Chains A and B, each alone.
Chain A
Amino acid sequence: MGRYIIKRIIGLIPLLLAVSFLIFIFIHLIPGDPARLMAGKDATNDEVEALRTYLGLDKPILEQYFIYMKELFQGDLGHSLRSNAPVTQLFGERFLPSLQLSILSIGWAMLIGILLGVISAVFRGRWPDYFGTITAISGISVPNFWLGLVMIQLFAVQFNIFPAGGIETWKGYVLPSFALGAGIMAMITRFTRSSLVQTLQEDFIRTARSRGLGERAIIFGHALKKSMITVLTIAGLQFGFLLGGSIVVETVFSFPGMGRLLIDSIQFRDYPVVQSLLLIFSLEFILVNLIVDILYGFFNPKIRYN
């Protein structure tokens, strides 16, 4: 098991190098001139060129990449072109709120989703199942920004229970995490249900019944563990997306997270910030996948040994 994880992590290195290269190239292919944007409208051509040299943007792109990588390995992500603050400092401020929001969103989505999914599967074709189905379909089809706006209107403006934006207190996390998690919860409900319904048809469930086990032991002790394999895939994938910060939901709630940092930086052609953000998102996504794979091994013993 430990060896497997180490092997997987070593396998990530070439992948990360390739990803960093692609991100770098793509960013520099985006039209728009950051030197001119920074220098301002009134700057002369000479001033712009001087700034370009200062920023190192006049060097060949490959050389720029190597410089960037060298600094990256020294833990230096560069400085924001916009605020001149170190990129690491910007991340320090934005990373934690986004991470907390993601964990909160996926957490409640999984908890409720699995619960509703189990109830739907157990009461298949009866009213709790229909209730679960309706909840799930609404969750999937309602766009999260709209849900966000409605909740702001209702819980912030109308009843003033939660703030409309900002994260001065924990209350600031409630509405955004609800808006972000609703769709995921719905998806997890559906996958839990269908996977559990399928598992309950399997031979070993009949064996468990023939041993005299009750329904609860059969569902929680026998069927759910097998069904978790599917559910985990979905949850892992969604968590990977969440970690990237939701541009839309963070904007709606004026949430100081990575998503909003990304959109602001793109508008300003703030290369160092954008490329570092993308790199971090990729890294997060890859790590989440690795964790999901490791958890697979826990739920599916056949995987663990090869």
Chain B
Amino acid sequence: MTGLLEVNNLKTAFISDDKTTQVVRGVSFAVNKGEIVGIVGESGCGKSVTSLSIMRLLKGTSGTIQDGEVRFHDQNLLDLSEQKMRKIRGNSMSMIFQDPMTSLNPVLKIGRQLMQGIMLHLKYPKEKARKYAVSMLESVGIPRAESIMNEYPHQLSGGMNQRVMIAMAMSCNPELLIADEPTTALDVTIQAQILELMKELREKQNTTILMITHDLGVVSEVCDRVIVMYAGRVVEEGKTAEVFENPKHPYTEGLIKSMPKIGQKQSRLYAIPGQVPDPANMPKGCKFAARCPHVMDICTEKEPDLIKDEEGRKHRCWLYQGEYEGGEKVDVKSSTGN
């Protein structure tokens, strides 16, 4: 397996009235070709900003990428000109978003929106692009694709619109698909269908998928590997089965404990106590310390590094730092972030 996408020490901040708030605080991970990798974490931990930073889609917001590398095919996307970046977006790397109802243009026909990217990247003439767009809609399981080309997003259900989004994202055969909570806005049966569709895409076209979600159920369903983020940092990473079976970081443990389990009567759903720290006012030391059941003195003093142990698991927790003294530090620099 070769690394298709490699994110190194990515730092992204929002700037407002001379105040800079870093919300992605030295994130590093890699995605191999053909993998489905999940990023999970509570709301506000920086999952979306990470994915937008990878695609360099922060334009129109006050966000800027301050530091780091996004290596895709061994070129650093952060060094590319906007023009070169446009050739990648929607072509070899594309994205689908959380809310399909607002993510499609309400005043343009579905067909036109689909064909734009096809004509731009594949350089198809109009008629060919149209035929191809119809075949794309069919391939994502949209019935009466021909007539849907002439309809507007508000005439379709959320699930159908998300299929349209997927057809759009897949139309130029991307190597990497970033899906930012693609099922969150949909109801449960539709969710399952969309996830099934994404797994199918991977089988058929060997598309690499970076799946962003706050739902561990989705992760266990489709992801080969999972990255757990907390307060703008990666706190744990590993193969999905291993992480679920034996979570290392107390935060991951809490997340898994708070998953509702089918067939098991629970008197009360577990919730991790406390709140996510304010990104504008990050505590010293481990950002999870205030909510951690295993908190030690050192945790509030100094932030642990993300280390890789001999089983290939990565975690950022003082419980294991001493144990793996010889372990490989993944990003030593990250503990100096503000």
A-to-B contact residues, CB < 8 Å:
200-214, 217, 221-222, 225-226, 299-302
- Contacting A300 at CB < 8 Å: which of B60, B94, B107, B109? B107
In the assembled complex, the CB of B134 is this many whole angstroms from the nearest CB of chain A, namely 18
B107 touches A299 (CB 8 A): yes
B103 touches A211 (CB 8 A): no
Greatest chain A CB density within 10 A among B60, B104, B165 is at B60
Could you pull out 11 A-B pairs where Cβ atoms are within 8 angstroms?
A: A204-B105, A206-B57, A206-B103, A211-B94, A211-B116, A212-B89, A212-B90, A212-B121, A213-B117, A226-B105, A302-B154
A208 touches B60 (CB 8 A): no
Q: A200-B60, A203-B103 are in contact. Are A210 and B116 (CB under 8 A)?
A: no
Chain A residues with CB under 8 Å of B302's CB are none
Q: A204-B102, A302-B154 are in contact. Are A214 and B86 (CB under 8 A)?
A: yes
Chain A residues with CB under 8 Å of B121's CB are 212
- Contacting B102 at CB < 8 Å: which of A202, A208, A222? A202
List 14 other contacts, CB 8 Å, given A206-B52, A209-B89, A213-B117: A202-B102, A204-B102, A204-B103, A206-B103, A207-B97, A209-B59, A210-B90, A212-B117, A213-B86, A213-B90, A217-B116, A301-B107, A301-B109, A302-B152
A210 touches B91 (CB 8 A): no
A226 touches B106 (CB 8 A): yes
A210 touches B94 (CB 8 A): yes
Chain A residues with CB under 8 Å of B103's CB are 203-204, 206-207
Chain A residues with CB under 8 Å of B95's CB are 210
- Contacting B105 at CB < 8 Å: which of A201, A210, A222, A299? A222
B-to-A contact residues, CB < 8 Å:
52, 55, 57, 59-60, 86-91, 94-95, 97, 99, 102-109, 116-117, 120-121, 152, 154, 165, 168
Please measure, in the bound complex, the distance between the C-alpha atom of A217 and the C-alpha atom of B113, giving whole angstroms.
Answer: 11
- Contacting A302 at CB < 8 Å: which of B86, B87, B90, B106? B106
Residue of B nearest to A227 (CB): B107
Q: A222-B108, A301-B154 are in contact. Are A213 and B120 (CB under 8 A)?
A: yes
Residue of B nearest to A197 (CB): B60
Please measure, in the bound complex, the distance between the C-alpha atom of A300 and the C-alpha atom of B106, giving whole angstroms.
Answer: 8
B60 touches A201 (CB 8 A): yes
In the assembled complex, the CB of B83 is this many whole angstroms from the nearest CB of chain A, namely 8
Residue of B nearest to A224 (CB): B107
Please measure, in the bound complex, the distance between the C-alpha atom of A222 and the C-alpha atom of B113, giving whole angstroms.
Answer: 9
- Contacting B107 at CB < 8 Å: which of A201, A212, A214, A226? A226
Chain A residues with CB under 8 Å of B57's CB are 206, 209-210
Residue of A nearest to B109 (CB): A301
Q: Would you call the interface of chain B mostly helix, strand, loop, or mixed?
A: mixed
Please measure, in the bound complex, the distance between the C-alpha atom of A221 and the C-alpha atom of B105, giving whole angstroms.
Answer: 10
Please measure, in the bound complex, the distance between the C-alpha atom of A201 and the C-alpha atom of B62, giving whole angstroms.
Answer: 12
B116 touches A213 (CB 8 A): yes
Chain B residues with CB under 8 Å of A299's CB are 107
Please measure, in the bound complex, the distance between the C-alpha atom of A206 and the C-alpha atom of B120, giving whole angstroms.
Answer: 17
Please measure, in the bound complex, the distance between the C-alpha atom of A204 and the C-alpha atom of B168, giving whole angstroms.
Answer: 13
B89 touches A211 (CB 8 A): yes
Please measure, in the bound complex, the distance between the C-alpha atom of A220 and the C-alpha atom of B102, giving whole angstroms.
Answer: 19
Chain B residues with CB under 8 Å of A221's CB are 108, 116
Please measure, in the bound complex, the distance between the C-alpha atom of A203 and the C-alpha atom of B180, giving whole angstroms.
Answer: 13
B90 touches A211 (CB 8 A): yes
Chain A residues with CB under 8 Å of B117's CB are 211-213
Chain B residues with CB under 8 Å of A200's CB are 60
Q: A211-B117, A217-B116, A222-B108 are in contact. Are A203 and B99 (CB under 8 A)?
A: yes
Residue of B nearest to A298 (CB): B107
Please measure, in the bound complex, the distance between the C-alpha atom of A208 and the C-alpha atom of B89, giving whole angstroms.
Answer: 10
Please measure, in the bound complex, the distance between the C-alpha atom of A32 and the C-alpha atom of B262, giving whole angstroms.
Answer: 87
Residue of B nearest to A201 (CB): B60
Greatest chain B CB density within 10 A among A200, A211, A226, A302 is at A211
Residue of A nearest to B171 (CB): A211
Please measure, in the bound complex, the distance between the C-alpha atom of A83 and the C-alpha atom of B117, giving whole angstroms.
Answer: 67
Please measure, in the bound complex, the distance between the C-alpha atom of A211 and the C-alpha atom of B112, giving whole angstroms.
Answer: 13
Chain B residues with CB under 8 Å of A211's CB are 89-90, 94, 116-117, 120, 168
Greatest chain B CB density within 10 A among A200, A204, A212, A214 is at A212
Please measure, in the bound complex, the distance between the C-alpha atom of A302 and the C-alpha atom of B106, giving whole angstroms.
Answer: 8
- Contacting A207 at CB < 8 Å: which of B86, B91, B104, B154? B104
Chain A residues with CB under 8 Å of B105's CB are 204, 207-208, 222, 226
Please measure, in the bound complex, the distance between the C-alpha atom of A144 and the C-alpha atom of B103, giving whole angstroms.
Answer: 44
B106 touches A212 (CB 8 A): no
Chain A residues with CB under 8 Å of B120's CB are 211-213
- Contacting A212 at CB < 8 Å: which of B91, B108, B152? B91
Please measure, in the bound complex, the distance between the C-alpha atom of A200 and the C-alpha atom of B60, giving whole angstroms.
Answer: 7
Chain A residues with CB under 8 Å of B154's CB are 301-302
Please measure, in the bound complex, the distance between the C-alpha atom of A280 and the C-alpha atom of B290, giving whole angstroms.
Answer: 75
Q: A212-B117, A222-B108, A302-B106 are in contact. Are A203 and B97 (CB under 8 A)?
A: yes
- Contacting B104 at CB < 8 Å: which of A204, A214, A300, A302? A204
Please measure, in the bound complex, the distance between the C-alpha atom of A206 and the C-alpha atom of B109, giving whole angstroms.
Answer: 17
Please measure, in the bound complex, the distance between the C-alpha atom of A71 and the C-alpha atom of B273, giving whole angstroms.
Answer: 83
Please measure, in the bound complex, the distance between the C-alpha atom of A301 and the C-alpha atom of B106, giving whole angstroms.
Answer: 8
Greatest chain B CB density within 10 A among A201, A209, A210 is at A210
Q: A200-B60, A301-B152, A302-B154 are in contact. Are A210 and B55 (CB under 8 A)?
A: yes
Please measure, in the bound complex, the distance between the C-alpha atom of A212 and the C-alpha atom of B169, giving whole angstroms.
Answer: 11
Q: A203-B103, A207-B104, A301-B152 are in contact. Are A212 and B60 (CB under 8 A)?
A: no
